[in-house]
């Protein structure tokens, strides 16, 4: 996958999303549902606390995934 | 995408610009280089800060002040009667879309309000869309780009070429995929240990089930995944014993009343000996079950190793109180009220780098040591070696009194989180001793059981043994059925966490690879333009090729000289002088800005040529005008240059009025008085002077008169191309007026003597005998030297009239328009 020079950030992010969805659509959904928690407006990237908040949301997403799997099995 | 130029900027009540009721109005041309010149202290920086405040909502210089200095209270001009700053910006599109007007106000109490007189629905969002790194550039930004670290430069560069969002997300993914973060936030390593421990325990239960089944059913090769078959086989074996058959009935071994069965055997041929045999059989089984497994001692060795690593880490980082102190310092530096990231809050020393990363690194060492301690406690809780000590000491057949059980005190220590290396070493020794004791006890019990069996009827001995084994089978099956389902849930969760870990690591790598490739494309895209531009900006430029290179697998951007007078691959930072380094930065910034296709299509440059000599200054201005300006090249930008430089002022004056240059000069008396653009304000200067002088206010009207005189003399010099001494612009302010008047009168005298002066005889006479002497005598002499008669309002009103009369001496009436026009030169209409 390559980002295109003329694309907007949103369009390149869509390319990235399509790529990771091929690898694991359910994990990709969890990632993109909670991407806003990582994409914070600081020069140094998200703080450790922000990553912690992101992981809390990931845990919640994975729990729901597990419950859904148990319900169908 | 529609892009926008800055059409005009109107400021009142902001920083050094008071202009109560009469705002400073600056108009800019989209297809020209716009220059604004002002001497030091007149308010040029306030203009730059006003644009910054409008777009970003802050003034960097004030934000950097300590809280005690209350930087924000200096945003509104201290002398503005309404105590409100107002900034109006008008943006013109490059595709014919309607212009956008934005008003930003800031009141004395700190409230910022953004509105759009033109009716833009989301003015805040529009201003946010202008937040690109190239839009507002001052000298500091240029200087910083070269001198910062490769990583900081990489991120700064990413921001400059519109890749800041990619850079931020890349850093975010790095944090999200870090094993340490995943382990602590998602609990992956803890769950992994827990599952492994439970799996080991379940495996032991399975072995007990199989062993008991094989002994009762007299068959081998039992498989735990066919548990129902095993139950059937054990039930059949019990049913085959006549004494037990009625008790089993049609049920299963799982439902058998073992107490009743034991009583039946006792009744058949009872006594203490049978009971004792039963007890001995149980003891043999339990002692056999708790035998030392292969990994038990190794597990304790592993824990001792972890404890030693933990001890070393704690010894390395030092006192616990220092940890607390560093955390407090980080909280201060990270707080919104701490504005100098390089100043230490404890010793107030000023560093060269931001303090926060250093503090975080140091604290991370403490955290790592503390985390090792916490990991050790977790590992101790789930340790199979310690569990074996516990199991051996608690086994009744081992006959160890409660007071002698070492694990009791250790379990208490674990609860308090106090696991010492010495305790673990003691436990290891204890386990060895317990195993020896277990072996001796087993041998003894087996001996006693054999002796007892020899004295009992053989048939009942076998029945008793079979019944005991069947009970063990039942108990183990119950334990298995209780333990297996929750373990399966944990295993599923562990699999899910590992799936996420694999996913996020792969996603982060995919993003990083794509981001690196994109950044390299951007670098390639601007590299040639940057090198060409650098070659134009500096002397010797063509022999020096600055080259940006992006490191593999990182965001680092190195700045090297691919060609330095024949030498290659050398450090730009090490070799180039300050002005050359800044020229490289200018080339990088301008090349990058030209490649942008985002909303802003303008750059505001504030004193960016401070380190340049005149030659380099003119080269930069020439490059802006001919190579980068909108109007000169298709993708060109609108440039707005703020400068206090007197050499550049000449350059600006020379180009002013041409199609590709628009120059404005600021005059005024900030922070109390008004700040004005001289060309637009000449009539207002005169009106202000008249108004105050008519009211007898000499102190207020006098300075307006001086500005008006300076403007009119400058206009005559400029319009008629009157030669002036080379240093006329650099003489002290107090000498400016007489320098101007001398230049004008001497030039007229020269042209008159040569018989080539275009002025009429009357004009020359009026100039030399009336107006110039009147202005010098009644104003300039006293203003510049303090000699002569002090000013009075009446005399100054006369001077005001003489200024216009003097200017008229250099004009003629155009027949076509019946308007006064300046002569083109002293010898030409």
Report DSSP letters for B137-170, one per residue: EEHHHHHHHHHS-HHHHHHHHHHHTT-HHHHHHH
The string of pLDDT tens digits covering residues B525-545 is 888 888 888 888 886 655 778
Placement of tokens 């809390």 in the chain = A56
CB contacts of B496 in chain A (<8 Å) are 62, 65-66
CB-based contact, A41 to chain B, within 8 Å? yes
Residue whose entry in the numeric block shows the structure tokens 């007071």: B403
Does residue B194 carry a pLDDT above 80? yes
Q: How many Å apart are CA B484 and CA B466, to the nearest integer?
A: 26
Average pLDDT over residues B602-623: 87
Higher pLDDT, B616 or A14: A14
pLDDT bucket at B99, cuts 50 / 70 / 90:
very high
pLDDT value of position B1: 83
Q: What is the dihedral of CA B227, B231, B232, B238, to 10 degrees?
A: 160
Residues counted in chain A:
73
So what's the ipTM on this one?
0.96
Q: What is the pLDDT, as a whole number, of residue B799?
A: 94
- For A23, the closest of B176, B186, B506 (CB atoms) is B506
Confidence class of residue B142 from pLDDT cuts 50, 70 and 90? confident
Selected for mutation to probe chain B from A32, A41, A46, A56 (highest B CB count within 10 Å) is A46
d(CA B686, CA B694): 12
Give contacts of B172 with chain A, Cβ < 8 Å. Answer: 38-40, 45-46, 50-51, 54
Let me know how many helices (H) and strands (E) chain A has, helices first. Answer: 3, 0
Judge whether residue B20 has pLDDT over 60. yes
Task: Enumerate the residues of chain A whose CB falls inside 8 A of the CB of residue B132.
Answer: none
Q: Are strands B544-550 and B136-138 parallel, antiparallel or unpaired?
A: unpaired
Mean pLDDT of B364-377: 84
pLDDT at residue B11 tops 80: yes
* Cα of B669 to nearest chain A Cα, Å: 39
The residue of B132, B165, B178, B361 whose CB has the most chain A CBs within 10 angstroms, and thus the best one to mutate to test that interface, is B165
> pLDDT at residue A43 above 60?
no
Between A46-60, B348-362, B603-617, the lowest mean confidence (pLDDT) is in B348-362
B159–A28 C-beta distance less than 8 A: no
- Residue B649, H or E segment: helix B646-655
A61: β partners: none
Asked if the C-beta of A40 comes within 8 angstroms of chain B's C-beta atoms, the answer is yes
Partner residue opposite A52 with nearest CB, options B185, B492, B510? B185
Bridge-based pairing of strands B557-564 and B570-571 is antiparallel
Element (H, E) at B637: none
The answer to which of A44-53, B467-476, B632-641 has the lowest mean pLDDT is A44-53
Mean pLDDT comparison of B372-376, B403-407, B547-551, highest-scoring range: B403-407
Provide, as residue numbers in chain B, all residues whose Cβ is less than 8 Å from the Cβ of A41: 168
Structure tokens at B197: 């421990």
Query: Please, are residues B161 and B591 in contact by the beta-carbon 8 Å criterion?
Result: no
pLDDT above 80: residue B699: yes
Query: What pairs with residue B91 in β-bridges?
Result: B6, B100
pLDDT tens digits for B314-339? 888 777 778 888 888 888 887 777 77
**Mean of all residue pLDDT scores within chain B:** 87
Kind plus residue range of the DSSP H or E element containing B213: helix B188-217
CA Rg, chain B, in Å? 46
User: B550 forms bridges with which residues in the sheet?
Assistant: B557
Burial of B282 (0-12, 13-18, 19+ CB in 10 A): middle
User: How many angstroms separate the CA of residue B51 from the nearest CA in chain A?
Assistant: 21
Quick one: what percent of chain B has pLDDT higher than 90?
A: 42
Residues B684, B427: Cα–Cα separation, whole Å: 95
Token output for B763: 């004009």
* Closest chain B residue to A54, measured at CA: B176
Average pLDDT over residues B25-52: 91
Report the alpha-carbon distance of residue B419 to residue B304 in Å, rounded.
10
Per-residue model confidence (pLDDT) at position B747 = 95
What distance in Å separates the CA atoms of residue B594 and residue B530, rounded to the nearest whole number? 10
The whole-angstrom separation of Cα B531 and Cα B520 is 16
Asked if B779 contacts B791 with a C-beta cutoff of 8 angstroms, the reply is yes
The total of other beta-carbon atoms located within 10 Å of residue B403's CB is 6
Q: How many CB pairs under 8 A join A and B?
A: 105
Closest to B399 measured CA to CA, from B294, B286, B274: B286
Share of chain B above pLDDT 70, in %: 96
Instruction: Say if B144 is an interface residue toward chain A (CB within 8 Å).
Output: no
Helix (H) or strand (E) holding B791: none
CA distances to A3, B163, B349, B353, B356 from B345, in Å: 43, 33, 8, 14, 11
Q: What is the per-residue pLDDT for B615?
A: 82
B807 pLDDT exceeds 60? yes
Mutate to test the interface with B, among A26, A30, A38 (most CBs of B within 10 A): A38
CA B730 to CA B175: how far, in whole Å? Answer: 56
Residues in chain B with CB shorter than 8 Å from the CB of A39 are 165, 168-169, 172
* Residue A40: per-residue pLDDT: 62
Q: In chain A, what residues touch B507 (CB-CB under 8 Å)?
A: 16, 20, 23, 28, 31
Cβ contact, residue pair B503, A38, below 8 Å: no
**Distance linking the first and last C-alpha atoms of chain B:** 49
- Counting Cβ atoms within 10 Å, is residue B253 exposed (0-12), middle (13-18) or buried (19+)? buried
**Are B173 and A38 in contact (CB < 8 Å)?**
yes
Q: Does A71 touch chain B (CB under 8 A)?
A: no
Paired residues of B137 in beta bridges: B605
What region does B181 belong to: left with phi over 0, alpha with psi -120 to 50, or beta? alpha
Residue A10 buriedness (CB in 10 A; 0-12 / 13-18 / 19+): exposed
Identify the band that residue B816 occupies on the pLDDT scale cut at 50, 70 and 90. Answer: confident
* Closest listed residue to residue B438, CA positions, set B298, B296, B276, B278: B296
Length of chain B: 829
R_g (Cα) of chain A, nearest Å = 15
Contact with chain A for residue B496, Cβ under 8 A: yes
Judged by a CB distance cut-off of 8 A, whether residue B499 touches chain A is yes
pTM: 0.58
């Amino acid at each position: 996958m390559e980002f295109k020079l003329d694309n907007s950030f949103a369009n390149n992010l869509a390319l990235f999303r399509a790529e990771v969805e091929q690898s694991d659509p359910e994990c990709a959904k969890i990632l993109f549902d909670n991407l806003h928690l990582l994409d914070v407006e600081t020069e140094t990237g998200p703080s450790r606390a922000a990553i912690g908040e992101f992981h809390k949301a990931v845990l919640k997403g994975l729990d729901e995934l597990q419950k859904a799997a148990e319900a169908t099995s | 995408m529609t892009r926008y130029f800055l059409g005009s900027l109107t400021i009142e009540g902001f920083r050094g610009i008071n202009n109560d009721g009469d705002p400073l109005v600056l108009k800019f041309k989209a297809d020209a280089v716009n220059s604004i010149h002002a001497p030091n202290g007149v308010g040029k920086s306030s203009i730059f800060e006003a644009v910054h405040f409008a777009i970003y909502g802050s003034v960097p210089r004030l934000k950097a002040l300590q809280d005690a200095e209350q930087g924000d209270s200096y945003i509104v001009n201290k002398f503005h009667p309404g105590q409100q700053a107002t900034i109006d910006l008008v943006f013109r599109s490059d595709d014919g879309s309607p212009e956008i007007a934005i008003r930003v106000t800031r009141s004395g109490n700190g409230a910022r309000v953004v509105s759009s007189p033109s009716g833009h629905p989301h003015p805040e969002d529009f201003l946010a869309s202008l937040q690109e790194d190239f839009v507002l550039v001052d000298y500091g930004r240029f200087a910083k780009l070269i001198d910062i670290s490769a990583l900081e430069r990489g991120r700064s560069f990413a921001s400059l070429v519109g890749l800041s969002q990619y850079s931020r997300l890349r850093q975010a993914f790095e944090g999200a995929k870090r094993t340490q973060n995943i382990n602590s936030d998602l609990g992956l390593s803890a769950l992994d240990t827990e599952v492994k421990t439970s799996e080991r325990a379940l495996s032991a239960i399975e072995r007990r089930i199989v062993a008991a089944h094989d002994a009762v059913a007299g068959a081998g090769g039992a498989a735990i995944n066919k548990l129902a078959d095993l139950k059937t086989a054990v039930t059949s074996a019990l049913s085959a014993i006549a004494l037990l058959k009625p008790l089993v009935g049609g049920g299963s071994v799982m439902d058998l009343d073992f107490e009743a069965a034991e009583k039946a055997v006792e009744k058949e041929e009872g006594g203490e000996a049978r009971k004792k045999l039963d007890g001995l059989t149980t003891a043999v089984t339990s002692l056999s079950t708790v035998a030392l497994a292969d990994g038990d001692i190794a597990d304790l060795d592993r824990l001792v190793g972890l404890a030693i690593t933990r001890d070393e880490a704690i010894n390395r980082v030092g006192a616990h109180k220092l940890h607390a102190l560093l955390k407090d310092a980080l909280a201060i530096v990270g707080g919104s009220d701490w504005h100098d990231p390089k100043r230490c809050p404890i010793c107030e020393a000023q560093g060269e780098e931001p303090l926060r990363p250093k503090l975080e690194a140091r604290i991370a060492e403490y955290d790592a040591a503390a985390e090792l301690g916490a990991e050790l406690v977790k590992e101790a809780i789930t340790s199979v070696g310690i569990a074996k000590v516990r199991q051996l000491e608690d086994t009744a057949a081992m006959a160890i009194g409660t007071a002698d059980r070492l694990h009791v005190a250790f379990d208490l220590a674990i609860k308090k989180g106090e696991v010492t290396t010495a305790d673990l070493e003691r436990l290891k020794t204890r386990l060895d001793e317990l195993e020896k004791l277990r072996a001796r006890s087993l041998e003894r019990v087996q001996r006693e059981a054999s002796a007892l069996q020899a004295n009992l009827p053989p048939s009942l001995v076998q029945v008793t043994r079979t019944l005991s084994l069947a009970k063990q089978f039942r108990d183990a099956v119950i334990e298995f059925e209780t333990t297996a389902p929750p373990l399966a849930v944990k295993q599923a969760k562990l699999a899910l966490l590992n799936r996420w870990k694999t996913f996020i690591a792969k996603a982060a790598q995919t993003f990083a690879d794509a981001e690196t490739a994109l950044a390299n494309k951007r670098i390639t895209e601007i590299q040639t333009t940057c090198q060409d531009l650098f070659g134009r900006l500096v002397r010797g430029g063509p022999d020096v090729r600055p080259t940006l290179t992006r490191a593999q697998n990182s965001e680092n951007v190195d700045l090297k000289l691919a060609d330095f007078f024949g030498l290659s691959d050398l450090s730009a930072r090490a070799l180039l002088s300050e002005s050359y380094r800044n020229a490289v930065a200018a080339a990088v910034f301008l090349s990058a800005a030209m490649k942008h296709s985002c909303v802003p299509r303008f750059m505001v440059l504030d004193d960016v040529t401070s380190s340049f000599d005149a030659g380099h200054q003119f080269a930069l201005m020439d490059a802006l005008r001919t190579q980068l300006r909108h109007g000169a090249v298709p993708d060109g930008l609108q440039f707005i240059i703020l400068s206090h430089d007197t050499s550049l002022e000449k350059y600006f004056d020379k180009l002013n009025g041409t199609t590709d240059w628009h120059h404005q000069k600021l005059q005024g008396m900030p922070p109390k008085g008004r700040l004005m653009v001289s060309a637009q304000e000449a009539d207002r200067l005169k009106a202000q002077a008249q108004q105050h002088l008519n009211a007898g206010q000499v102190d207020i009207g006098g300075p307006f008169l001086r500005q008006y005189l300076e403007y009119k003399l400058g206009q005559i010099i400029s319009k008629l191309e009157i030669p002036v001494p080379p240093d006329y612009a650099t003489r002290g302010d107090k000498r400016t007026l007489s320098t101007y008047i001398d230049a004008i009168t001497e030039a007229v005298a020269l042209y008159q003597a040569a018989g080539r002066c275009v002025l009429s005889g009357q004009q020359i006479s009026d100039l030399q005998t009336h107006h110039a002497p009147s202005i010098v005598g009644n104003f300039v002499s006293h203003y510049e030297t303090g000699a002569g008669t002090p000013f009075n309002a009446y005399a100054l009103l006369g001077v005001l009239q003489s200024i216009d009369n003097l200017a008229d001496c250099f004009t003629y009436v155009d027949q076509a328009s019946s308007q006064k026009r300046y002569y083109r030169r002293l010898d030409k209409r």
